[in-house]
Amino acid sequence: MYVLEGLDPVRKRPGMYIGSTGVEGLHHLIWEVVDNSIDEAMAGYAKNIAVTLLPENRVMVIDDGRGIPVDTHKQTKKSALETVFTTLHAGAKFGGDSYKVSGGLHGVGASVVNALSIWLKAEVCRDGFQYVQEHSRGKPKYSVKKTGKCDGSGTAVTFEPDAEIFQIIKFEWDTILTHLRQQAYLTKGVRMTIIDKRSPIQIKSKKGIEEQPSQSYSFYFDGGIVSYIKFLNQGLIAKNENIFYTQKENVVGDKKIYVECAFQYTDEINAKELSFANNIYTAEGGMHLTGFRTALTRCLNDYAKKNEYFKKDDENLTGEDVREGLTSIISVKLLSSQLQFEGQTKAKLGNPEARSAVEAVIGETVQEFLEKNPDDARAVLEKAFLAQKARKAAKAAKDTVLRKGALDGFALPGKLADCQSKNPEESELFIVEGDSAGGSAKSARDRKFQAILPLRGKILNVEKARLDKMLASKEIRALIIALGAAIGNDYEHEKLRYHRVIIATDADVDGSHIRTLLLTMFYRHFPKLIKSGFMYIAEPPLYRIQRAKDVRYAYSDDEKEKVMKEMLKARDEQKKVRDAKSGKAKTEEVVEEEVSEDASDAEKVKGVTIQRYKGLGEMNPGQLWETTMDPARRVLRQITVQDAAQADKIFDILMGDEVLPRKKFIQTHAKAVKNLDI
């Protein structure tokens, strides 16, 4: 039984179906089409899925599955292919038993993409024939056409998002690549390919000039999520050499739930926990992650007691203790009609039966793993007991730093120049480098809503430090108290005193290092602040260029050259006017030639002064306000974490203990470095 309706609700309320009309919603269109291809792969009918980025903001998703059916649908009396793209089907996935498990929550993926596209073309190869139909904003342009014969089978969907719906239409290569890599790990044995044809490269060949994609990449993993664990832990020191892995079906009531899990411990302090439901990444976890955590904690405590790891009166290990250094992936699959997510964005799984299924499977298989691998069990437990000891020390440190009075604003750090406003939504905190920049910033600011916190030197690298050592740092303590929301498990987002936290460091090597240290701390210990969009980096200009009363600021070398050309052209235009009045007019061509010649040697041009800023302390308060602090003119870069796993790896490389990965990173990217001040 299907409940079918038109696509008008989708165009009226797109956020209900794709989460937003911003960048995430735009990419969600691709995910919806890819989900349908993954359905075919999970059912055993597709081995290859490819996403191609095309010119004019178009995307093509193609698979070698069975091809969407084209015969007449009993209820709509239209082709099944047209029905799939023009109606919302609530309940089971269209086609009954064709799709057992699907990433699409409502089973409406293809039709939603069609409704939100200015143009869409569906091509199907099935039963030896090729079929095609085009649509615009959810309406078919013509009936399904049989266009000829074809070999094999599959579906190709090409679409162009509607500019009336989406704020910005720009598909991001890294975002799509990361998603497809993740799906390839979760759907082992299936090849996922991404191809970029937006700006093709022209190459000479025997046939003449040929166009090739500017970039392409394929992912194929026979090892599935075990390969994913190895990828996440690349360059890290493992505690248990044998990676735990299990896959098992569990029945809860009348519901069958497929559970797959892999984990490994490393010598890291932070945990990496990834959870999925029907291949959808659940960023906020949910019942399946809760079930995994509960079972893992219980199994390790039971094994420790059985093998006399505990001393008399020792406390049990907590979930926090056993998760230190854990890299885990928990994936559940159930019928799409049974999926329950909290919120439209599918970020948190709400099925209670998923928790029961995961607890049962993990409880049984982890116990077996520990018994069969006593050396691994010992290494994991030793790390957990060390984490327990550190947790107790950190609690004592937190109690002294995060006193109630301090967090309520009665004991703010002395170096903080706070703002007058008590409304977090309009308040912003500038974190600046040193007292010199702090002095200029305090003089330049609008004290109504701008607070200044100068930090002395480089803060502690928290990637290598436990919480108790971190809280012993005066600079970090001052920052935590200034923010007012506590830290770690005690963090209270609603108590955050500023909704814009702006890192303003110098444009040199030390400034970049300090910025990286601060971002590491915020990423590790204030992730919700970043996810809420409250984290920014100030981008002050690199150059101040002045000619007479004309003062301009340039944020890059290219922009400096552009400003210089504009200034010199204005100078020559003025000279041309003066010469014309005195009978000495020059031709336009000569003037343009002089402008180009002068701009290439800008620093030596008479009447033009260029100042290269290496630090905010070099600016007077007026310049600092004008370039960096004035909301109407400043340039701020918002910090987002599109891919937590990839960001996690970068922080490990840049700030971790392993030297070799960092050396390789530096060697790879050294040539791309600009404005390096030594």
pLDDT tens figures, 126-148: 999 999 999 999 999 999 999 99
Question: Which structural domains are found in the chain, ordered by start?
Answer: 3-201 (3.30.565.10), 225-396 (3.30.230.10), 402-540+637-672 (3.40.50.670), 543-612 (no CATH)
Question: Averaging pLDDT over each range in 1-5, 115-119, 388-392, 454-458, which range is the top one?
Answer: 115-119
Per-residue pLDDT tens over the stretch 333-342: 988 778 888 8
Phi first, then psi: give them for residue 141, nearest 5 degrees.
-80, -25
Confidence of residue 678 (pLDDT cuts 50, 70, 90): very low
Q: Could you please report the per-residue DSSP string of 464-520?
A: G--HHHHTT-HHHHHHHHHH-S--GGG--GGG-S-SEEEEE--SSHHHHHHHHHHHH
* Cβ-based neighbours of 429, under 8 Å, separated by 6 or more: 451, 452, 453, 482, 483, 497, 498, 500, 501, 502
Res 337: pLDDT: 75
Candidates 6, 192, 196; CA nearest to 114 is 6
Which runs of E-coded beta strand occur in 351-447?
Answer: 428-433
What's the pLDDT score for residue 403? 54
Q: Tell me, what amino acid is at 386? A: L
Whether 102 and 336 have beta carbons less than 8 Å apart is answered as: yes
Taking only Cα atoms into account, the Rg of the chain, rounded to an integer number of angstroms, comes to 30
What is the predicted pLDDT for the residue at 1?
34
Q: What is the DSSP letter of 371?
A: H
**231 and 223 in contact (C-beta within 8 Å)?**
no
Q: Which two tokens stand for residue 40?
A: 């075919």
The arithmetic mean of pLDDT across residues 140-158, rounded, is 95
- Span 30-87, pLDDT tens digits: 999 998 899 889 888 999 999 999 999 999 999 999 999 999 888 888 899 999 999 8
Query: Mean pLDDT in the chain?
Result: 85
Question: b/e for 276-292, b at 16 or more Cβ within 10 A?
Answer: bbbbbbbeebbbbbbbb
Buried b (16+ CB within 10 A) or exposed e, 384-414: bbebbebbeebeebbeebbeeebbeeeebbe
Cα–Cα–Cα angle for 62, 68, 69, rounded to 5 degrees: 160
Could you report the per-residue pLDDT of 433-458, keeping only the tens digit for each?
Answer: 888 888 889 999 999 999 999 998 88
pLDDT digits (tens, 9 = 90+) for 624-652: 898 899 999 898 988 887 544 455 566 66
The pLDDT tens digits of the residues spanning 262-314 come to 999 999 888 999 999 989 899 899 999 999 999 999 999 999 999 999 988 88
pLDDT greater at residue 219 or residue 470 = 219
Confidence of residue 667 (pLDDT cuts 50, 70, 90): low
Active-site residue list: 433, 506, 508, 510
